[in-house]
Amino acid sequence: EATLDLAERRRIRSAIRELQRQELERDEETLASKRFRPERSSHRQDNKENWPQSRHLEEEQQAALTALSEQLEAITSVEELTKLLRAAGEYEERKLIRAAIRKLRAEEIEAATLAGNVQSSQ
């Protein structure tokens, strides 16, 4: 800042640019090493620690889905199933309800086809 010599100012500026360039290269190398670093075993350890809890949650969900499927077997109205479908929050619940609706509609179509066949034969 205090020098009046232009050549010295140029040398100082080029030295500053060189230091900035080296710093950028170091940062890029650091990022590249982090980006391509193999996954550490701590992730596996986290999974191992959380495994019993996640296993318990899966069992609870499975029990709830089993109870829901038994409840769906007793329902014979598409409207009731549609209401349940709209109220359901979980994907698996909606999946079961949609399957029950499809099954009920197929049974209704089959019953209507049989009734039509009986009437035509009479």
Per-residue pLDDT tens over the stretch 32-47: 777 665 555 555 555 5
Q: Could you tell me if residue 58 is inside a domain? A: no
The answer to the question of residue 50 being in a domain is: no
Q: In total, how many domains does the chain have?
A: 1
- Of 8 and 18, the one with more pLDDT: 18
- Whether 10 is in a domain gets the answer no
Report yes or no on 43 lying in a domain. Answer: no
Give yes or no for a contact between 83 and 67, defined as CB atoms under 8 angstroms apart: no
User: How would residue 48 be classed by pLDDT, with cut points 50, 70 and 90?
Assistant: low
Task: Tell whether 115 is covered by a domain.
Answer: yes
Residue 51, pLDDT score: 67
pLDDT attached to residue 16: 94
Q: Give the contacts of 98 (CB within 8 A, at least 6 positions apart).
A: 85
Nearest Cα neighbor of 102 from 85, 116, 90, 118 is 85
Q: Is residue 108 part of a domain?
A: yes
User: Cβ of 71: how many Cβ atoms within 10 Å?
Assistant: 13
| Average pLDDT of the residues in 73-87 | 89
CA–chain centroid gap for 2, Å, is 61
Q: What is the mean pLDDT of residues 14-35?
A: 87
Residue 8 covered by a domain: no
* pLDDT tens digits for range 83-105: 989 988 888 889 889 999 999 99
Is 105 within a domain?
A: yes
Residue 72's domain spans which residues? 63-120
